[in-house]
A and B are shown apart, each in its own frame.
Chain A
Amino acid sequence: MENKKEKGGFRLIGGDKLILFTAIIIVFALFTFLNKNFLTWTNMVNLLIAASLVGLVAVGHTYLIIAGQNDLSPGSLAAFCGTLAALLLSWGVPMPIAVLAVLMAGVVAGLFNAWMVNKIKLEAFIATLVTQNVVRGFAYIICDGKPISISNKAYLAIGKLRILTLPLSVWLMLIAFIVFGFILARTKFGRSVYAIGGSKEAARLAGLNPQRIITMSFIIIGVLTAVGGIVFSSRMNSGQPAANVNLEFDAITAVILGGVSFAGGVGDMFGTVLGVILIQAFNTGLIMVNVSTFWQYVARGALLLFALTSDFIRKQRREKELLEAAMKNIK
């Protein structure tokens, strides 16, 4: 039975998702019980809209954390990107060029993070903390601390456009899940991400280029965050320099809940999808049952602690299984 289930470290769907499904059902049942408006079509669509920004960023975190890295800058970057778009549009820059410029900002942030990790050999956690602060600062600087409203019709349409009843932002998230899920599971690049998550040096000696893979992963999360920032600002009709605080917190929680290990090398995109659903249902539910903002912080912290604890337990179980397998294989 074990042998059938094992499919190496690179599959679209795999691992132990049962607990996650159960948790989602419990959360949905609980909030529906507390507020009967929770499980309605409108609320579910709203939940997906709210999830789209976290979802896009979580896709990037899935790559980074599997590769043994991390990124604490997306919250600041999303706010900066939205503000930058609003600023450019207010100057009369055409919408496609403004969007392109914002995506480039995402690339530059990714390159900067990768440079610190690859060349100055900083821990990703610390390096991206630098970016988090610097980029937040720039978000305030470019708009002089005041939100910039957006009147460009084409740009505002991004947030309003609906295809097959779902808003564009939700489609973007779904496309990101599928495309990047496929890349992670089935391509050379995806395989390399798993490989460097174990040991960078072993991967290098096996002919891979860990620095390039890390750079690519940081660019991916930078661009996805920029896309998120565009969608968010379009929905808000403005660029908000103070927005999206703790975005990375939710995204990282979702990824870890989904079964990606903080130790690197383990996990898949489907887990992240489930993790994003769980965390967004949790966040939306807390608001709908009128839990105060202050207690929401505590609850989210508790959820991350839960995610980390289950990551730890999974890791211990993997090690135990390995040991048992080893005892069986060595005669």
Chain B
Amino acid sequence: MGSVLEFKKISKYFPGVKALDEISFKAYGGEVLAFLGENGAGKSTLLKVLNGDYQPTNGEYWLDGELKHFASPHEAIEEGISIIYQERQILLELSVAENIYLGRMPANRFGVIDIRKANRMAAEIIKDFGLPISPSTKVKDLSIAYQQMVEIMKAYSRENLKVICFDEPTASLSDAEIESLFKVIRKLKSQGKIIIYVSHRMAEIQQIADKVAIFKDGRYVDTVVTGEVSEEAMIKMMVGRDLGDIFADLERNDKIGDVLLEVKGVSSDYVKDNSFVLHRGEILGFSGLVGAGRTELMRAIIGADKARSGEVILEGRRIVNRSPKEAMDNGIVLVPEDRKLQGILSNLSVAGNINIALMDKNANGLGVISTRKEAEEADKGIRDFRIKTPSPDKKIVELSGGNQQKCIVARGIATDPKVLILDEPTKGIDVGAKSEFYQMICQFAKQGLGVILISSEMPEVIGLSDRILVMRALRIVGEVAREDATEDRLLSLGMMGDE
């Protein structure tokens, strides 16, 4: 009883990202503490620091007055700290008992495993949890929910278990399964364990958590007692400011022109038969769940994936994009979703990244690049997009995420495109830089570009787009006008298709 876990000024840096910034707070035994924050706020990173998966750049953590330092998750588990992840970490071919006692099966004095004893011990735990499963069942024959239970039992079976963390545990559970998970969590709570519960679902947090620790952009904001503070107030703390205000202040383009891009029945190996139109000066939002096919549709349009059928018509002329290069030459550029692997050219400088698509323009007939022209283009990009870099010759990986993203946008805009496709442009970028991007996007529209905006952040799509298309299961399933767009509407379209 009365365990205390204390974080003292924990910081974690990655190149270009300050993932955790001097996090300090305490968690107490016998309480369920929820972590609340946007994607990239630092919740998962903090868990990984706690269980030894990451080493903190600075700072320390104490458990029951003892300074702890785990070199690996294995060490953390030995010391009584377990994390239950979204993805199951169990061995499907082994039995329930074998999974629970993996690596520490009871054995006789000759070292031969005593499977009967293991089954007996496992049966005790299963009874504690009140589950209708047998210790000798193979885990692969259990439902997802029970597989998760096996993981929890594995943590529970350690006598020194002090801290148990759940990272989005209900993502793939039904309501009834969630209820039985909560039962188990309450049981662990009554035994005085420290319970950390990471979730995006507000309703669940209200139901199970005693307190809520709020994170924002890698910083710890505050801990509030559930029920004492309204949901709206919590969201405001986690977003930091009212996003509504940012969008209300944007100078939007009010002169949408004629049809610029027409996509007719485009299919690839990853999307099926999609059609839409984009107008000059329009911001067209794409909403939908992850995996709905939004990125894949754009990749088919620009020729990054092979299009199987369909037509792309730009300014009334049919174009064929067999590669991103051809799309670029035709006037369509993509700013990809995965900045690290698909966006930046990690070995090149800021100048090299901005200029990569301009090499034809910057080079003479022999292919020799003009250093002067490159420097001019780089300076222009850095100025126009307010890229914060000590020098154009700095390696791009040394910049912050937001500034890296600006380089990639600058690269695309430098090719003088007609259509700009932005795939999750503000992912992992702090709120200040986000509002800069929003102004930039509106500016592009004012200049007459057609902008396609894929975003999983509802306020962003709703706040920026003139029209929103919703994709579900590889197809466009609906269109919502700006005036009618609400989060509920988009979500239900994205999850169920037609309302």
User: B-contacting residues of A (Cβ < 8 Å)?
Assistant: 3, 6-10, 183, 186-189, 191-192, 194-195, 197-199, 201-209, 264-266, 319, 322-323, 325-327, 329-330
Contact = CB atoms under 8 A, between A and B. Distances in A.
A326 B391 contact: no
A328 B475 CA distance: 45
Contacts of B345: 194-195, 198-199, 202-203, 206
14 contacts: A8-B393, A9-B347, A187-B366, A188-B369, A191-B352, A191-B359, A191-B369, A198-B346, A205-B324, A265-B346, A323-B15, A325-B394, A327-B18, A329-B390
Q: Which interface class (under 10, 10 to 19, 20 to 34, 35 or more) fits B?
A: 35 or more
Interface in B286-306: 304
A330 B400 contact: yes
Given A205-B336, A208-B356, A326 B398 contact: yes
A202 B13 CA distance: 24
Contacts of B328: 207
B411 interface: yes
A202 B347 contact: no
A202 B341 contact: yes
Interface string B375-402: 0000000000000101101110111100
Contacts of B14: 323, 326
B342 interface: yes
Nearest to A186: B368
A329 B399 contact: yes
B325 A326 contact: no
B348 A188 contact: no
A245 B367 CA distance: 36
A201 B13 contact: no
A199 B340 CA distance: 9
Contacts of A209: 323, 325
Contact of B347 (A187, A207, A264): A264
Given A195-B345, A198-B345, A202-B342, 12 more contacts: A7-B393, A183-B367, A188-B363, A194-B348, A198-B344, A205-B336, A206-B356, A322-B398, A326-B16, A326-B17, A329-B400, A330-B16
Given A202-B343, A205-B324, A325-B398, A8 B363 contact: no
Query: Which 4 residue pairs are nearest across A and B when measured between Cβ atoms?
Result: A265-B347, A8-B349, A198-B346, A325-B398
B351 interface: yes
Given A191-B359, A264-B347, A322-B397, A6 B391 contact: yes
Contact of B342 (A6, A197, A205): A205
A97 to B, nearest CB: 29
A6 B17 contact: no
B87 interface: no
B205 interface: no
A118 B343 CA distance: 21
Nearest to B402: A330
Contacts of A198: 344-348
A273 B359 CA distance: 28
Interface string B228-248: 000000000000000000000
A207 B357 contact: yes
Contact of B13 (A3, A195, A199, A326): A326
Contacts of B388: 329
A329 B398 contact: yes
B334 interface: yes
Contacts of A186: 368-369
Contacts of A207: 324-325, 328, 356-357, 415
Contacts, number: 135
A295 B289 CA distance: 63
A195 B369 contact: no
A206 to B, nearest CB: 5
B64 interface: no
Contact of A195 (B343, B347, B393, B395): B347
A325 B349 CA distance: 14
A327 B400 CA distance: 9
Contact of A205 (B304, B351, B394, B398): B304
Nearest to A187: B367
A187 B363 contact: yes
Residue of B17, B345, B398, B400 with most partner-chain A CB within 10 A: B345
A330 B18 contact: yes
B114 interface: no
Contacts of B411: 206
A264 B14 CA distance: 21
B356 A201 contact: no
A123 B343 CA distance: 23
Contact of A8 (B344, B348, B366, B415): B348
Contacts of B359: 188, 191-192
Nearest to A66: B347
Contacts of A189: 367
B124 interface: no
The residue in A187, A206, A319, A327 that gathers the most chain B C-beta atoms within 10 A of its C-beta is A206
A187 B371 CA distance: 10
Given A8-B352, A325-B398, A330 B347 contact: no
A328 to B, nearest CB: 9
A6 B393 contact: yes
B360 interface: yes
A323 B13 contact: yes
Contacts of B15: 319, 322-323, 325-326
A158 B368 CA distance: 32
Interface string B417-447: 0000000000000000000000000000000
Contacts of A195: 345, 347-348, 352, 356
Contacts of A325: 15, 394, 398
B395 A6 contact: yes
Contacts of A3: 390-391, 393-394
A9 B349 contact: yes
Contact of B348 (A9, A201, A264, A326): A9
Contacts of A323: 13-15, 57
A329 B13 CA distance: 11
Contacts of A194: 345, 347-348, 352
Nearest to A261: B347
Given A9-B349, A265-B346, A319-B15, A201 B391 contact: no
B341 A201 contact: yes
A262 to B, nearest CB: 13
A326 B363 CA distance: 32
A205 B13 CA distance: 28
Contacts of B369: 186-188, 191
A9 B336 contact: no
A44 B14 CA distance: 48
Contacts of A322: 15, 395, 397-398
Most chain B Cβ neighbours within 10 Å, of A194, A205, A322, A330: A205
B341 to A, nearest CB: 5
B473 to A, nearest CB: 25
B57 to A, nearest CB: 8
A240 B339 CA distance: 51
Interface in B157-208: none
B346 A199 contact: yes
Nearest to A5: B393
Most buried by A among B14, B325, B398: B398
Contacts of A327: 13, 18, 57
A192 B347 CA distance: 11
